[in-house]
Amino acid sequence: MSFISSPKFPQFDGDSPATNTSISYKVQLLETKMSLFQQWAFIVKEALDKSFLVAKFFCAVHVTNTYLCSTALVQGPSMLPTFNLTNEIVLLERISTRNGKAGPGDVVILQSPENPRKFVTKRIIGMEGDNITYIVDPKNSDRTETIIVPKGHVWVQGDNIYNSYDSRNFGPVPYGLLQGKVFWRIWPAGAFGSIGRRPETVDPALKVVEQ
């Protein structure tokens, strides 16, 4: 099929142009009216529009994840029984930590002070100026220590103090390391629901009514 078509208008077998609105009519019109360069320009413009749309979508996703709400995968034994050992998916909101509204009792996700690429989930126990008395090593002894949380820092602990690497090991954490506050669990579906300001006392997936 040659694109160098004649300047004549397309001929139809006896049909009047008004009734013939099929695709083939439009294609024939396209071939006669547009040169090869114009066709390429049309395709390039379409490709640019689509990629601009993809870029806009990516930017919207980034802004939502960074400033509004995001999801995270939680695993490990340090937050039993609030979070199980196996993978759980939670929603975290970024607005409280950005505005300084995260307070004691909130479950937060923060960058580990010992490895900035690792994220840990813990509960805030104390804010700056608070007096914290904590059991240093509950598996082996009852020795406690008391500390005043310095300015601009928070004290975080896992709900399962027997198996948690938290502020009792790496000290108070600067507030700037907090990434977001966990407020809802979306997986496993049996435990779908909000995360409260107190540690759970039974596995939420079992849905046992507390006495």
Partner 1 sequence: MRSTSFLWNVCKSSFTFGLIGLTVSDRVASVVRVRGLSMSPTFNPPNNTSLGLFTDDHVLVEKRCLTDYKFSHGDVVVFCSPRNYKEKQIKRITGMPGDWISVPFSYDAVRIPEGHCWVEGDNPTDSLDSRSFGPIPLGLIRGRVTHVLWPPQRVGKIDKKLPRSGLSF
Residues making contact with partner 1 (CB under 8 A): 55-56, 58-60, 62-63, 66, 100, 111-117, 151-153, 173-177
Closer Cβ to partner 1, 84 or 121, answer by number: 121
Closer Cβ to partner 1, 80 or 156, answer by number: 156
In the complex, the smallest distance separating the C-beta of residue 167 from partner 1, rounded to whole angstroms, is 13
Residues assigned a catalytic role: 78, 122
Closer Cβ to partner 1, 115 or 194, answer by number: 115
In the complex, the smallest distance separating the C-beta of residue 159 from partner 1, rounded to whole angstroms, is 23
SS (H, E, C) 71-140: EEEECCCCCCCCCCCCCEEEEEECHHHHHCCCCCCCEEEEEECCEEEEEEEEEEEECCCCEEEEECCCCC
In the complex, the smallest distance separating the C-beta of residue 58 from partner 1, rounded to whole angstroms, is 7
Sort 74 into a burial class: Cβ within 10 Å, 0-12 / 13-18 / 19+: buried
Residues 6+ apart with CB under 8 A from 15: none
